[in-house]
């Protein structure tokens, strides 16, 4: 009887995944990374005991392993996804892929899984070095394994963010996530080589509830960000007839309602709900406020079939930035109610004027670029790019004036930029500014921006009427002859 062996990928795998894996494994970038990683890691570990004392040789060896793997998994590998979708868009190959019955989801997930699989291969090659590190002594086995897994999961999330952003036209916008990656790369060595190695690894063992909740919360956080990024990438290349917005908005709305309920009915740390709201709202509102306003009858028909409830839900859940503005307003209202509910169950002063000012300044920092993008985006496909450009401009108009006013000791000049809500955050550090007056001002500015944004969205939403009427006519029963 002949012995069969695996000679090729299974036919059950996605063709996009197989294609990306073959190209990725043969690429010089991955081959060089793999070889250099092995050579450097082996050389450094073999000399670790010589350059470090016997008591710290184990922690030094672990620090080297984790730092090298973090550089490969959190920086180099995610960078390979920065052009994953843009190359297909510029090469006009998306339509050809669709003809092969590959939908947008399979294309994006195939590219993401291919890069993650290569990162997993690098992770597997670390096992022999961990065995060598065991003989140095002092190994916190569970903690180091958990930390290694967290690096890999973080790599999966960062790769998803890069792949999701790669569908953007502007190269500058696609490079924005690199800043977060660079910060993360700088944080890990400081945790491992500045005296906190054993403490950090002990926390990763999840021996108490605080560390367990911290690890679980971090995993949920990166999983949510990664899913939002991939969903955004899918929407950027999907045909207008595919609706990927409704599910994304429903999930974010459910998470916001759950967070608000926790603040209302359970006594939790007053700082936790606002942070959770910020994590949920940032990707949800960013995608909702920048979606192209293309609507086709097949997208609206599922809402019509659900009667009055479906019609009301369509105002919030239909794809496009006009409904995204109304949806964002709903999320903001629920979040404000949740924070207010939390403040009633916590000691006075925990959520004070400064806390509300920062929250409203961050909210206005998202609404202002959305308003400018709504007015100045002539092409629907460039709405996300324009939003990010206006957002960067808002950040620059916050940082540079603050530096000048600190240099010349004239913080009162910052009031000239009060129309830019993020400017309120550096103004809080000035003891001469009345905090309650600043809170009233930023609240007024936010309400004005939100009102103008709603007016613009309602006007744009009227353009959906013809499509809605067409969908209603298609669903209407034929008249009896």
Question: Alpha-carbon distance 341 to 264, whole Å?
Answer: 5
Residue 121: predicted pLDDT? 86
Same structural domain, 246 and 191? no
Three-state secondary structure call for residue 466: helix
Number of structural domains in the chain: 2
In this structure, are 129 and 250 located in the same domain? no
Same domain, 395 and 454: yes
- Within a domain: 223: no
Residues 379-408 as b/e (b if ≥16 CB within 10 A, e otherwise) read eeebbbbbbbbbbeebeeebeebbeebeee
Tell me what pLDDT residue 342 has.
72
* Residue 238: pLDDT band with limits 50, 70, 90: confident
Please tell me the predicted confidence (pLDDT) of residue 5: 52
- Final residue of a domain: which of 156, 186, 208? 208
Which residue, 384, 373, 367, is CA-closest to 422? Answer: 367
Q: So what's the pLDDT on residue 63?
A: 72
The pLDDT assigned to 367 comes to 92
User: What does the alpha-carbon distance between residue 321 and residue 61 come to, in Å, rounded to a whole number?
Assistant: 51
CA-closest candidate to residue 364, choices 423, 415, 321: 423
Give tens-digit pLDDT for 382-396.
788 888 888 888 888
Distance in angstroms (rounded) separating the CA atoms of residues 118 and 21: 8
- 178 and 281: one domain? no
At residue 448 the predicted structure's pLDDT band, cuts being 50, 70 and 90, is: very high
- Structural domain range at position 138: 11-208
In a domain, 311, yes or no: yes
**Residues 466, 468, 471, 476, Cα dihedral to 10°:** -100
pLDDT, tens only, 66-99: 778 888 888 888 888 877 777 776 666 666 666 6
Residues 70 and 198 placed together within one structural domain of the fold: yes
Query: Are both 154 and 266 inside the same structural domain?
Result: no
pLDDT over 90, % of the chain: 7
Which of these ranges, 147-151, 170-174, 238-242, has the smallest mean pLDDT? 170-174
Do the domain assignments include residue 35?
Answer: yes
Q: Are 69 and 186 members of one domain? A: yes
Residue-wise pLDDT tens digits, 130-148: 777 666 666 677 777 888 8
Domain membership of residue 23 (yes or no) is: yes
Residue-level pLDDT at 339: 80
Same domain for 275 and 174, yes or no, is no
On the question of pLDDT at 1 being above 50, the answer is no
pLDDT at 481: 46
Residue 2 resides in a domain? no
Q: How far apart are CA 7 and CA 175, in angstroms?
A: 38
Indicate if 191 and 308 belong to the same structural domain.
Answer: no
Instruction: Decide if pLDDT at 2 tops 60.
Output: no
Distance CA 312, CA 469 (A): 15
């Amino acid at each position: 009887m002949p012995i069969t062996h695996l000679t090729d990928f299974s036919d059950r795998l996605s063709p996009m995944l197989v294609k990306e894996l073959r190209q990725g494994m043969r690429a010089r970038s991955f081959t060089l990374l793999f070889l250099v990683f092995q050579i450097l890691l082996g050389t450094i570990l073999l000399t670790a005991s010589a350059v470090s004392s016997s008591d710290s040789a184990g922690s030094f060896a672990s620090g080297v392993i984790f730092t090298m793997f973090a550089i490969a998994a959190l920086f180099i590998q995610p960078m390979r996804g920065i052009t994953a979708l843009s190359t297909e868009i510029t090469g006009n190959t998306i339509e050809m892929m669709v003809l092969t019955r590959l939908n947008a989801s399979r294309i994006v997930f195939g590219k993401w899984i291919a890069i993650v699989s290569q990162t997993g291969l690098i992770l597997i090659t670390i096992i022999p070095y961990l065995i060598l590190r065991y003989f140095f002594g002092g190994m916190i086995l569970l903690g180091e394994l958990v930390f290694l897994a967290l690096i890999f999961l973080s790599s999966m999330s960062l790769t998803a963010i890069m792949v999701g952003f790669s569908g953007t036209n502007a190269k500058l916008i696609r490079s924005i996530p690199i800043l977060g990656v660079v910060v993360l790369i700088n944080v890990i060595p400081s945790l491992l080589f500045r005296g906190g190695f054993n403490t950090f690894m002990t926390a990763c063992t999840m021996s108490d509830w605080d560390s367990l909740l911290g690890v679980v919360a971090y995993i949920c956080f990166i999983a949510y960000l990664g899913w939002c990024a991939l969903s955004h990438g899918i929407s950027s290349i999907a045909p207008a007839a595919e609706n990927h917005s409704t599910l994304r908005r429903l999930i974010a709305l459910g998470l916001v309602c759950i967070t608000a309920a926790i603040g209302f009915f359970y006594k939790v740390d007053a700082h936790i709900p606002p942070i959770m709201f910020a994590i949920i709202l940032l990707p949800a509102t960013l995608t909702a406020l920048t979606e192209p306003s293309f609507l086709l009858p097949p997208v609206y028909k599922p809402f019509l079939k659900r009667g009055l409830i479906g019609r009301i839900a369509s105002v919030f859940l239909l794809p496009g930035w006009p409904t995204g503005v109304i949806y964002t307003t709903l999320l903001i209202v629920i979040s404000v109610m949740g924070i207010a509910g939390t403040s009633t169950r916590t000691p006075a002063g925990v959520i004070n004027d400064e806390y509300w000012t920062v929250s409203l300044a961050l909210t206005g920092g998202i609404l202002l670029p959305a308003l400018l993008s709504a007015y100045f985006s002539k092409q629907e496909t460039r709405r996300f790019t324009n939003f990010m450009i206006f957002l960067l401009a808002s950040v620059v108009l916050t940082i540079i004036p603050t530096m000048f006013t600190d240099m010349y000791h004239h913080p009162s000049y910052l009031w000239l930029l009060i129309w830019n809500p993020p400017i309120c955050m550096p103004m809080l550090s000035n003891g001469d500014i009345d905090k309650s007056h600043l809170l009233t001002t930023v609240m007024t500015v936010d309400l004005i921006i939100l009102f103008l944004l709603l007016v613009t969205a309602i006007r744009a939403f009227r353009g959906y009427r013809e499509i809605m009427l067409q969908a209603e006519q298609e669903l209407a029963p034929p008249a009896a002859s």
